[in-house]
Amino acid sequence: MRKLGIFLMIIFIVMISGCSSKKETEYNKPAIYWYEKIIKSVSSSNLDRADEYFTSLESEHISSPLIPEAMLILAQAHMDNEEYLMASFYLDEYIKRYSTAKKREFAEYLKIKSSFLGFKNINRDQKLLNDTIQNALNYKKMYPNSEFIPLVDTILTKLYMTEYILNKNIMLLYQRRDKPKAAKIYEEKLKKSWLNETEIIKPENWYDVLIEW
């Protein structure tokens, strides 16, 4: 019985030592090691692990030129995975710390795209809708010759269509509740829109406006 206890204790010590050694190998690695880990994790859709590897890359190699590239990769990966807050986080950090004029142009476009794709409920995301429209308009002023302008224009058109449908629904709601003054405000907004209502076919789901139109 005593021999069995000693044997089990040895196995336990070996296991602990093995885990400790394995953990130690995950520190003090070259920047390219962490970068390759990030790429591999993104490729396998393990974004939580990719974020952890990025933290290691950034903490161990704060001046590495691989950091800004990894930020853009992670931003796009989170966007593809519909994790738009994380995508915006990486893009904000990238713009603040690393972007040149040309790179900022690309990152700002990705932020608009991320906000555009991040709509979940138009009735709760009205501020996001307005902010994204304004950001897109600011982008066109700041980068009038950008290669991304056609894409921004497409996003803007879809956002304006969504805004039109939202304002129309609010106007009708106020009319049903016999609030003519409030209804008139949204009626005026519809009149000021450049959209032609006869060309807008209201989809069954408002989200179709953003994705399919």
Mind listing the pLDDT tens digit for each residue in 155-172? 998 898 888 888 888 899
Q: What angle separates helix 101-117 from helix 126-142, to the nearest 10 degrees? A: 160
In this prediction, residue 127 carries a pLDDT of 86
Selection from 197, 137, 131, 186 nearest residue 161 by Cα: 197
Kindly state the tokens that stand for 131.
């902010």
Selection from 181, 132, 177, 127 nearest residue 155 by Cα: 132
Size of the chain, expressed as the number of residues it contains: 213
CA angle at 51 for the pair 113 and 207, rounded to the nearest 5°:
30
Mind listing the pLDDT tens digit for each residue in 46-100? 999 999 999 999 999 999 999 999 999 999 999 999 999 999 999 999 999 987 8
